Amino acid sequence: MNKGSIYGLTFDQLVAWLAEKGFKKSRALLVWDWLYRKRVTSFSEMTDIKQDCLQVLEDHFAIQTLTEHLKQESADGTIKFLFKLMDGNLIETVLMRHKYGLSVCVTTQVGCNIGCSFCASGLLAKSRDLTSAEIVEQIMKVQLHLDGKVANEHVSHIVVMGIGEPFDNFKNMVDFIRVVKDQKGLDIAARHITVSTSGLADKIREFADSDLKTNLAISLHAPTNELRTRIMKINKAIPIEKLMSSIEYYLEKTNRRITIEYILLKDVNDGKEHAIQLAELIQHIRQLANVNLIPYNPVDEHSQYQRSEREFVRAFYDTLKKQGISCSVRLEHGTDIDAACGQLRSKQIKKSTEDNLVAQ
């Protein structure tokens, strides 16, 4: 029988679980420290915890449940990990180096059902949500990789922008955040954690009410319903008006800045008229919004889309600035490897399928 990972418990949940087994809160503090500060990979390494407690933990939980299936390293220091889950599914996790620290992009689902027509993540439909433990373990695997180096580096930032829609796996995503920002453990500051959503309006409101104090990014990618529906099918169910209403609620509730993500697609959404429409759409929230312009990473299966030319990116940026909109162009990472989110996973699954057909 496969045991669940102990990484799936928040500290309060661990305290409650151990209390049910007759152990005090002090025992939970020790276990937590071994997991996230000393970063052991087996319960037997927890040398100052009595055997009766270790046996109970061993009987019910595992620590390691992900295995490294493949790793790609870029010249710029970006590392893309392809992890295999216990059920054989594959997920991607990416380590990126910035001037301000080390950022990890985590996956929240096996596949994606949002169906953005330009995205590699949606090439394979969602088969299941990841557990909170499987999301936490992505961070732990990357940190253990760093621990094996001489530089003594630590994950400092997290972006929840990998495969899947985080708000479609809301509870597990929230539990993940509570684990990684716990000050007794990894202690990753809430302001260094960003969650991206394609626009699940009800969950944006719930996220505002959760008081997690993390950052929110909205994958908008088009300024009008007609265009957004054409490239993002979610807009049929949640049109821009409904999305903007939830964003306004979030801003009023939290008074926290948001990021508007906008992938620039050649001859699709990258004209000056689109920039003007975008500026008009968010003009009333511009004091708490920043537009992040994203160069497109081409995907073989979506050959209808190409990267915007540099002069169009500059013109789009300049137009927004002239309209009083705060904006930036995202720095690219891992352009010499499978840079698009979900691209490495889809290629490996395709290769495995082709190999099996040949073997038959």
Active site residues: 92, 341
Cα–Cα distance for residue pair 154/229, rounded to 1 Å:
40
Is the separation of the CB atoms in 173 and 167 below 8 Å?
Answer: yes
**CA-to-CA separations, 130 to 8, 137, 164, in angstroms, rounded:** 11, 11, 9
Cα–Cα distance for residue pair 352/355, rounded to 1 Å:
5
**CA-to-CA separations, 214 to 250, 253, 312, in angstroms, rounded:** 12, 13, 32
b vs e for 285-306, b when ≥16 Cβ sit within 10 Å of the residue's Cβ?
A: beebbbbbbbbbbebeebeebe
Terminal alpha carbon distance of the chain: 31
Residue (of 105, 101, 188, 106) closest to 153 by Cα position: 101
